[in-house]
């Protein structure tokens, strides 16, 4: 069975045709770069997204500190990860990339600060 999906790796948005047999990818066309091949196979078997949000800071120079997952997390866990992010009250200064939640919900991804925030 051919599944048509749009690659979201870059703004080109390649239209991929993924040949799926019994849940397994047996062919993929339409990608203009290797990222599309990886994305298409992943999207069929285990769709994931990079998640970004903000955490509330207390006593720091800005009120909301932007965060992101350093790897894509399972699409089905996005709202659960949001709940974990909402629990955080950040009180220490951070640099870009500082881990705020390690291995969030066992996804192997860390939630990390995406902006430098001083005291």
Partner 1 sequence: MENRNNVKERELVVVGGGPAGMAAALSAYENGVRDILLIERDQYLGGILNQCIHPGFGLRYFRENLTGPEYADRFIKKISAVPSIEISLKSYAVNLTAGRYLAYIKPGKMEEVKAKAIIMATGCRERTREMVHIAGTRPAGIYPAGLAQKMINLEGWLPGREVVIVGSGDIGLIMARRFTLEGAKVKAVIEIQKTSRGLIRNVVQCLEDFGIPLYFSHKISRIHGRDRVEKVEVVEVDDSFNEKPQTRFEITCDTVLMSVGLIPENELIELAGVAIDKKTNTPVSAEVNKTSVPGIFVCGNSFKIYDLVDGVTYDSAKAGKMAAEYLKGLK
Which residues make up the interface to partner 1 (CB under 8 A)? 5-11, 13, 49-54, 56, 62-64, 66-68, 75, 78-79, 82, 96, 114-116
**CA-wise closest residue to 91 among 61, 67, 68:** 61
CA distance 56 to 24: 42
| Residue number, 86 or 92, with CB nearest to partner 1 | 86
In the complex, minimum distance from the CB of residue 27 to partner 1, in angstroms, rounded to a whole number:
21
Per residue, what are the HEC states of 71-96?
CCEEHHHHHHHHHHHHHCEECCCECC
Q: Minimum Å distance from CB 30 to partner 1?
A: 13
Given the complex with partner 1, which of 46 and 116 has the nearer CB atom? 116
Q: Which is nearer to partner 1, 66 or 93 (CB)?
A: 66
Minimal distance in Å, beta carbon 49 to partner 1? Answer: 7
Length of the chain: 119
């Amino acid at each position: 069975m051919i599944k048509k999906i749009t690659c979201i790796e870059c703004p080109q948005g390649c239209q991929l045709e993924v040949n799926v047999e019994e849940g397994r990818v047996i062919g993929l066309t339409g990608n203009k770069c290797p990222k599309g091949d990886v994305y298409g196979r992943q999207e069929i078997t285990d769709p994931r997204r990079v998640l970004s949000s903000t955490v509330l800071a207390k006593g720091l120079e800005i009120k909301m500190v932007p965060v992101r997952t350093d790897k894509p997390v399972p699409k089905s866990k996005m709202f659960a990860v949001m709940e974990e992010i909402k629990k955080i009250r950040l009180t220490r200064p951070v640099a870009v990339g500082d881990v705020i939640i390690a291995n969030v919900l066992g996804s192997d991804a860390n939630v990390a600060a995406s902006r430098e925030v001083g005291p």
